[in-house]
């Protein structure tokens, strides 16, 4: 698909979340990963375009406490909507536990989980999770690649393939001329893979990850917002969505910094899925390396392999066979 098709086909989600619906939006990202901020930004754009009203936005921080205190009251006709991304499984348990809490405690509501990549280290844990999810009669799960779809479709009736919500942001227009040739945008976290990248000799002065966009002041601001989201008093006495709006403005600033960084380069080489997606949104030439469990290659092969200027240069199979 080209970029316009990737954006337009997100409208298929309206079959499950009809235009004009009311939703509670859970698990928007309150941390420094700009990729997840891009997903949130795209989701909000999609909701706005579809005239879907967000009654309340709630991060994962206080949900368990509010449920225990019987203070999370969601109208029966309101859809529970969960943020998409790459945290469905057992690598990022706070987000997975939130989804299980919602499924267990709101059996009569429609629950929609926006496009995710599924990954479990422990397959027995996966089976246990889907024993919980499969008991909910109105749970709808969107996944971002064929492997995820095949993995979960035996357990759930309502599983759908969809591209990432960040595509709703297309197009992102650059406002300046490039200064440099290649940006090497490589992840450094638990999903990284050590790989020799030999296409060009890497200029390490042009190697970045999302954390390089965070100054000491940014980290302090993120800590403040985390503390505010953990505060029961803030949740109880702040007007609905005020805190999320303040955080949304800040994330918009960080997204703009990422766009400005990418704008400096003719080409992006990245092992970040949203490094790849952001480059596509900007119609910028990019090369994709896989992450530790095949998320990037799965997404590329499913969605972005026809995007002009995008190329997959290493996938997980390359890593697993390297040196054998």
Question: Between 199 and 102, where is the model more confident?
Answer: 102
Confidence of residue 323 (pLDDT cuts 50, 70, 90): very low
Confidence of residue 304 (pLDDT cuts 50, 70, 90): very high
The confidence score (pLDDT) of residue 61 equals 95
The confidence score (pLDDT) of residue 200 equals 55
Range in 57-66, 160-169, 171-180 with the lowest mean pLDDT? 171-180
The confidence score (pLDDT) of residue 319 equals 42
Instruction: Assess whether pLDDT exceeds 80 at residue 287.
Output: yes
Residue pLDDT, tens place only, 25-55: 999 999 999 999 999 999 999 999 999 999 9
Residue pLDDT, tens place only, 67-88: 999 999 999 999 999 999 999 9
Question: Between 194 and 187, where is the model more confident?
Answer: 187
Range in 28-32, 201-205, 268-272, 319-323 with the lowest mean pLDDT? 319-323
CATH 3.40.50 holds for 3-168: yes
3-state secondary structure the chain: CCHHHHHHHHHHHHHCCCCCCEEEEECCCCCCCHHHHHHHHHHHHHHHHCCCEEEEEECCCCHHHHHHCCCCCCCCCCEEEECCEEEEECCCHHHHHHHHHHHHHCCCCCEEEEEEEEECCCHHHHHHHHHHHCCCCCEEEEECCHHHHHHHCCCCCCEEECCCHHHHHCCCCCCCCCCEEEEEECCCCCCCCCCCCCCCCCCHHHEECHHHHCCHHHHHHHHHHHHHHCCHHHHHHCCCCHHHHHHHHHHHHHHHHHHHHHHCEEEEEECCHHHHHHHHHCCCEEEEECCCCCHHHHHHHHCHHHCCCEEEEECHHHHHHCCC
Note the pTM of the prediction, 2 decimals.
0.94
Instruction: Assess whether pLDDT exceeds 50 at residue 185.
Output: yes
Residue pLDDT, tens place only, 238-267: 998 999 999 999 999 999 999 999 999 999
- Range(s) for CATH 3.40.50 in the chain? 3-168
The confidence score (pLDDT) of residue 324 equals 27
- Of the chain, the percentage scoring pLDDT greater than 70 comes to 94
Instruction: Assess whether pLDDT exceeds 90 at residue 203.
Output: no
Instruction: Assess whether pLDDT exceeds 80 at residue 120.
Output: yes
The confidence score (pLDDT) of residue 321 equals 33
Instruction: Assess whether pLDDT exceeds 70 at residue 201.
Output: no
Residue pLDDT, tens place only, 121-145: 999 999 999 999 999 999 999 999 9
């Amino acid at each position: 698909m080209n970029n316009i098709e990737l954006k337009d086909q997100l409208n298929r989600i309206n079959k499950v979340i009809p235009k004009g619906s009311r939703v509670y939006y859970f698990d928007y990202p309150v941390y420094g990963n700009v990729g997840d901020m891009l997903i949130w930004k795209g989701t909000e754009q999609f909701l706005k375009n579809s005239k879907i009203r967000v009654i309340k936005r709630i991060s994962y921080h206080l949900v368990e406490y509010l449920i225990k205190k019987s203070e999370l009251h969601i109208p029966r006709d309101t859809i529970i909507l969960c943020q998409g991304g790459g945290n469905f499984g057992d690598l990022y348990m706070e987000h997975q536990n939130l989804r299980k809490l919602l499924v267990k405690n709101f059996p009569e509501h429609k629950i929609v989980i926006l496009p995710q990549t599924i990954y479990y280290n422990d397959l027995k844990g996966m089976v246990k999770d889907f024993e919980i999810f499969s008991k909910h009669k109105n749970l709808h799960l969107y996944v971002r690649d064929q492997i995820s779809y095949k993995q979960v479709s035996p357990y759930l009736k309502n599983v759908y393939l969809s591209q990432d919500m960040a595509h709703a942001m297309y197009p992102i227009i650059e406002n300046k001329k490039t200064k440099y040739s290649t940006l090497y945008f490589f992840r450094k976290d638990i999903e990284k893979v050590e790989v020799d990248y030999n296409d060009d000799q890497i200029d390490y002065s042009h190697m970045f990850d999302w954390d390089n966009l965070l100054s000491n002041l940014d980290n302090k601001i993120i800590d403040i917002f985390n503390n505010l989201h953990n505060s029961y008093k803030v949740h109880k006495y702040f007007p609905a969505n005020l805190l999320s709006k303040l955080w949304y403005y800040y994330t918009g600033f960080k997204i703009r910094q990422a766009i400005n960084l990418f704008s400096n380069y003719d080409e992006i080489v990245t092992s970040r899925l949203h490094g790849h997606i952001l480059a596509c949104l900007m119609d910028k030439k990019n090369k994709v390396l896989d992450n530790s469990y095949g998320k990037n290659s799965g997404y590329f092969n499913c969605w972005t392999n026809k995007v002009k200027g995008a190329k997959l240069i290493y996938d997980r199979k390359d890593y697993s066979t390297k040196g054998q």
